[in-house]
Chains A and B, each alone.
Chain A
Amino acid sequence: MKTTKTSQKERYILTVLGRIFREVFDNDSMEITFETSTDLIDDWDSVNHVKLVLSIEEELDIRFETGDVSYVTTIRKFVEVINRLQMQQ
């Protein structure tokens, strides 16, 4: 069985993402997991995707590369990219 170890930093990013998702989708009860994807949230369209990325950039003081924007279709991918961008700083 495949297992994935989640670091403290990744859990922190998940917490931040949860706050941003609730704000962008205006849903105080929204819960996200690493498996949450564009397919599972009806309102996760291209406009909300841009709002999510820009809000994450502001909150975490990072800048997504153009190729990253279309790549981040799941929370796990968001965490992966955020981790990489923070490491590069």
Chain B
Amino acid sequence: MLLHHIGIAVKDIHRATKEYLLRPDFRQASDIIHDKVQTAKVMFLEVANDRVLWELVMPDGKGSILKGAIDKGGGLNHLCYEVSDIEEYCEKLRDSGFLLLHSPIEAAAFPNRRIAWLMGKDGIPIELIESENKNTSKAFS
């Protein structure tokens, strides 16, 4: 498993983006994308010389599953790992004490790649994303 991105829950994605882009080496890596699985508007940031992305996630409405996280102040929301075989790693994590919250489904931000969601007792949501292969199209398109 390779760390792919860090999810940060924010109340206002436009305001948060401006604040994060003040940090040294931070750059915008995508437009705002509507992720219906996360019930969120998301935007990716990249950091120079680092392969790990940052994903700002904002509730897409009053019924968003992110509302609780925002009510608690937002901040670190999830970790996303890239895996070669998503079913295999769902099973491996399940066997090591995680619950599968969402079975593999097409990713909103990454065409032709699937994501899955799990959580362990530490309460930190884990997202899995399939590795990119030669047949997949560019991320964020």
Closest 10 CB pairs of A and B: A47-B123, A50-B119, A66-B100, A50-B99, A51-B121, A54-B121, A45-B68, A53-B99, A69-B99, A66-B103
For the side of the interface on B, what is the size category? 10 to 19
In the complex, the answer to whether B121 meets A46 with C-beta atoms within 8 Å is no
State the Cβ distance, B94 to closest chain A Cβ, in Å: 8
0/1 per residue, A30-55, Cβ < 8 Å to B? 00000000000000011100110111
State the Cβ distance, A78 to closest chain B Cβ, in Å: 14
- Chain A residues near B99 (CB, 8 Å)? 50, 53-54, 64, 69
- Chain B residues near A51 (CB, 8 Å)? 121, 123
For the side of the interface on A, what is the size category? 10 to 19
- Taking Cβ atoms with an 8 Å cutoff, the residues of B that contact A are 65, 68, 94, 97, 99-103, 119-121, 123
State the Cβ distance, A39 to closest chain B Cβ, in Å: 14
A-B contact pairs, 16 of them (CB 8 A): A46-B65, A47-B123, A50-B101, A50-B121, A50-B123, A51-B121, A51-B123, A54-B99, A54-B121, A55-B121, A63-B94, A64-B99, A66-B100, A66-B101, A66-B103, A69-B100
Of all chain A residues, which has the CB nearest B101?
A: A69
Of all chain A residues, which has the CB nearest B71?
A: A45
0/1 per residue, A15-26, Cβ < 8 Å to B? 000000000000
Of all chain B residues, which has the CB nearest A69?
A: B99
In the complex, the answer to whether A54 meets B97 with C-beta atoms within 8 Å is yes
Of residues B94, B97, B102, B123, which shows the largest number of chain A Cβ atoms within 10 Å of its Cβ?
B123
CA distance in complex: A46, B100 (Å): 13
In the complex, the answer to whether A54 meets B120 with C-beta atoms within 8 Å is yes
- Chain B residues near A63 (CB, 8 Å)? 94
